[in-house]
Amino acid sequence: MKNRPFVLLTKDEELRLAKGSSFKADTRVFVTGAIRDKEDEKEDYTETISWTAFKRYAKYMTGKKSKYGSGNFKLGIDIESYERSLLRHVQKYMENKYEGGLVEREEDHLSAMVFNIFGILHEEERIKKLSKNDKQK
């Protein structure tokens, strides 16, 4: 065990250490004695996001800050506006890709689609939170 600092214990080691303790079944125990909740039901951002695509999207968003300001979308944009913009970018991307189009070729239409999809997700979640807060009052 000495050569495995900060590594999770095996199930047998965990059971031996946990006997007589108040560890819950949903707790990870490390060789160091540290404990943490298990991650089985938690989001895994390291394995579910393409960091290459994320970087491209971040560059796109950074380039838009001078025009729209930082975090402008967080002020609230109606979902229908995102949907209309999303479909315009889908049309331009598809025309350029499949019909030899020359429509706003300098624009990263895929990143613009991601922005609009994220915007819809953002608004849906914001609305859920507002609705939840209203019910709690």
Looking at the structure, do residues 17 and 79 belong to the same domain, yes or no?
no
Pairwise pLDDT comparison (36 vs 70), residue with the higher score: 70
Model confidence pLDDT, tens digit, residues 54-111: 999 999 999 999 999 999 999 999 999 999 999 999 999 999 999 999 999 999 999 9
Please say if the pLDDT value at position 22 is more than 60.
no
DSSP assignments along the chain, one per residue: -TT-TTPBPPHHHHHHHHTTS---TTEEEBTTS-EEE--TTS--HHHHS-HHHHHHHHHHHHHHHHHH-TTGGGG---HHHHHHHHHHHHHHHHHHHHS---SSTTS-HHHHHHHHHHHHHHHHHHHHHHHHHHHH-
Looking at the structure, do residues 61 and 121 belong to the same domain, yes or no?
yes
Tell whether 22 is covered by a domain: yes
Looking at the structure, do residues 126 and 90 belong to the same domain, yes or no?
yes
- Token pair recorded at residue 59: 């560059």
Looking at the structure, do residues 79 and 30 belong to the same domain, yes or no?
no
Tell whether 1 is covered by a domain: no
Tell whether 3 is covered by a domain: no
Number of separate domains in the chain = 2
User: In whole angstroms, how large is the CA radius of gyration of the chain?
Assistant: 23
The whole-number pLDDT of residue 1 equals 41
How confident is residue 114, by pLDDT bands cut at 50, 70 and 90?
very high
Model confidence pLDDT, tens digit, residues 46-56: 889 999 999 99
Enclosing domain of residue 105: 46-136
How confident is residue 45, by pLDDT bands cut at 50, 70 and 90?
confident
Looking at the structure, do residues 21 and 67 belong to the same domain, yes or no?
no
Looking at the structure, do residues 84 and 36 belong to the same domain, yes or no?
no
Looking at the structure, do residues 15 and 34 belong to the same domain, yes or no?
yes
The whole-number pLDDT of residue 12 equals 65
How confident is residue 24, by pLDDT bands cut at 50, 70 and 90?
low
Please say if the pLDDT value at position 19 is more than 60.
no
